[in-house]
Amino acid sequence: MRVALTDDTVLFREGLAALLRELGIEVTHQAGNERELLEGIADDPPDVVIMDIRLSAHGAEGLHAAESIRRRHPRVGVLLLSAYAETAYALRLLENGAAGVGYLVKDRVGRVEVLEDALRRVADGQTAIDPEIVQRLMDRPSRQRPLDLLSGQERNVLQHMAEGRSNNGVAEAMFLSQKTVEKHILSIFKKLGLEQQGQDNRRVLAVLHWLQG
């Protein structure tokens, strides 16, 4: 896999680049801001761009940068990293199309398997949402708790779905057959009163919105 890195702090960028190389991932470009990145990848687009959501002392320029990358290079995946696990950022990112985008908390660089999994999904045109955000939304107290109606296994399926996994991905992650997963998902949508979404990518946004209440 070929990856370009954008982060305004060189220290973190270099560390991440070393880690990725160690994992056998080729780092094609490193940039400090959106302009540098867009110039760098213009002629040689990578599979995925990993980018800090915050590219200066203030603001979430990464969200804007993600849009321009997706517009110019629709086949390049964008994985945003953030120091904060903000639901609002994740939702904003997904609203412009969930295919091939991801949002992870920076700490995940300490969990190589999570990072690799997210990169692979984003490169495949799927979605990757940080487990912490999904977990927090699932634990969120609410007046009515339709979530209580779900069985333990259904809750796990819902969590994986909200993180952006396809039916296939959920099946792999939970060591279940795809048929079983489909059955669970049907039951979950029914219990939560959610409309069945054909496309996996749109399903993520719908589930997250539902969880947020």
Distance in angstroms (rounded) separating the CA atoms of residues 151 and 143: 19
Q: Does 183 bind other proteins (CB under 8 A)?
A: no
Stretch that binds other proteins, among 51-59, 119-127, 168-176, 182-190 (CB under 8 A): 51-59
Looking at the Cβ atoms of 142 and 177, the one nearer to other proteins is 142
CB of 45 to other proteins, least distance (A): 28
**Which residues, listed in sequence order, are joined to residue 179 by a DSSP beta bridge?**
none
Q: Does 42 bind other proteins (CB under 8 A)?
A: no
Q: Does 148 bind other proteins (CB under 8 A)?
A: no
For residue 196, report the phi and psi dihedrals to the nearest 5 degrees. Answer: -65, 125
In angstroms, what CA-CA distances link 115 with 79, 87, 105, 138, 187?
A: 10, 19, 10, 22, 30
Q: Does 152 bind other proteins (CB under 8 A)?
A: no
Residue recorded with tokens 């490193």: 30
In angstroms, what CA-CA distances link 144 with 151, 158, 192, 209?
A: 16, 18, 11, 16
Q: Does 56 bind other proteins (CB under 8 A)?
A: no
Q: Does 71 bind other proteins (CB under 8 A)?
A: no
Positions in the binding site for other proteins (CB under 8 A): 54, 58-60, 83-89, 92, 105-107, 110, 136-137, 140-143, 212
